[in-house]
Structure 1
Amino acid sequence: MMWQDLVFLAGNVFSIAALAPTLRDETSKVPLGTSLPSLTIGFVYGTAFLTMDMTYSALGALLTGFIWGLIALLRSPTDVAELVASFRRSSDSAPSASPPGAD
Structure 2
Amino acid sequence: MMWQDLVFLAGSVLSIAFLAPTVRDATANVPLGSSVPSMTIGAIYAGTYATMGMSFSALGSLGVATMWSLIVSYRSPGPHDGPANVVRFVRSMSQQARRSVVGTPTEPEQAASSHSAD
Q: Which bracket does the TM-score occupy, shorter chain normalised?
A: 0.7 to 0.9
Structure 2: unaligned runs, 5 residues or longer: 92-118
1:71 counterpart residue number = 71
CA distance in 2, matches of 1:56, 1:82: 29
The answer as to 2:33 corresponding to 1:33 is: yes
User: Which residue does the alignment assign to 1:95?
Assistant: none
Distance verdict in 2 for CA 1:52–1:73, change over 3 Å:
same
> TM-score under structure 1 normalisation?
0.78
- How many residue pairs end up in the alignment? 89
Distance, in Å, in 1 between the alignment partners of 2:66 and 2:41 is 11
Measure, in 2, the Cα distance between the counterparts of 1:70 and 1:31.
Answer: 13
RMSD: 2.3
What TM-score, normalized by structure 2, do the two folds share? 0.69
Partner of 1:101: none
Identity of aligned residues (%): 57
Which fold has the larger relative contact order, with Cα–Cα distance below 8 Å and residues 6 or more apart in sequence? Answer: 1
Gap change, CA 1:9 and 1:83, over 3 Å in 2: closer
Question: For the residues of structure 2 that align with 1:37 and 1:47, how far apart are their CA atoms?
Answer: 15
**Partner of 1:16: helix, strand, or coil?**
helix
Moved over 6 A (4+): none
Deviation at 1:54, TM superposition (A): 0.2
